[in-house]
Each structure stands twice: as structure tokens, then as C-alpha cells.
């Protein structure tokens, strides 16, 4: 783990303010917003507007607190796909989204297991 100890109160306040400007908390993911790499564009983030690109975006952050919501999202996708309805392009989009979320959850599990082994 890489840590930094800040002894200058002005520097600490500056870092905290910069972090507060960039870090946005969301339901399915968090965002460390950087306009130059944002999938939502320079006017984002749009975490609450259902147009966040989530796992397609370099700014996206996921933690174990998001696990249950992501698992529920997979269940909703599966239920829709099992219904056999929908436009083919939309169905393909959902399948890709599902695959990304499954891969993300697997990575979370691996990281958690490694962390537990180190403890």
C-alpha cells in the first residue's frame, strides 16, 4: 500500500478539495471524474441520470459495496433475456453488459481473496 503523510495543513486542504471535486459516489459504481478520459464527455459525470457508461469508462471505480447492486443487475438482465423479447441490438448490448459485470465481479472476488490471504 502506498501512503502519503501530509504535514502542511494547506496542502492537506488542497488535496481534499481536489478529491471532492473529482470523486462522485454512485449506486452501481463510483466515478473519479477526469474529463479527458470520461465516456460521458466533459460535462459529466451522470451517475444518477442512467447515462453513466459504468464499466465502459476509465473513470469508473467499483468496490465491494457495489457487489449486491451488480448481482441484482445481472438478475434483471437474465430475466429480460429469458423473456425472448426485444430488439436484437439491445439484446446484444445487454449480453455485453452482463459479460462485463460478471468479469468485474470475478475480479472483485479475486482481489478480496488475495486481500484475505495477506491478512
Q: Which helix (H) or strand (E) holds 12?
A: helix 9-22
How many Å apart are CA 119 and CA 112, to the nearest integer?
Answer: 11
Condensed to tens digits (0 to 9), the pLDDT of residues 32-68 reads: 888 898 888 888 777 666 667 777 788 888 888 889 9
Instruction: Indicate the pTM of the whole model.
Output: 0.68
pLDDT band at residue 3 under the 50/70/90 scheme: low
pLDDT band at residue 1 under the 50/70/90 scheme: very low
- Quick count: other Cβ atoms within 10 Å of Cβ 54? 20
Look at residue 32 and give its three-state secondary structure.
strand
Statement: residue 74 has pLDDT above 70: yes
Amino acid at each position: 500500500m502506498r501512503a502519503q503523510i501530509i504535514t502542511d495543513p494547506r496542502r492537506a486542504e488542497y488535496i481534499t478539495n481536489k478529491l471532492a471535486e473529482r470523486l462522485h459516489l454512485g449506486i452501481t459504481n463510483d466515478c473519479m471524474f477526469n474529463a479527458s478520459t470520461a465516456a460521458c464527455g466533459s460535462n459529466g459525470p451522470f451517475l444518477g441520470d442512467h447515462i453513466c457508461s459504468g464499466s465502459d469508462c476509465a473513470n469508473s471505480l467499483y468496490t465491494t459495496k457495489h457487489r449486491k447492486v451488480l448481482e441484482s443487475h445481472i438478475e434483471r438482465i437474465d430475466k429480460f433475456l429469458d423473456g425472448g423479447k426485444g430488439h436484437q441490438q439491445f439484446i446484444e448490448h445487454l449480453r455485453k453488459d452482463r459479460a462485463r459485470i460478471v468479469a468485474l465481479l470475478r475480479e472483485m472476488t479475486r482481489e478480496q481473496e488475495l486481500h484475505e490471504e495477506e491478512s
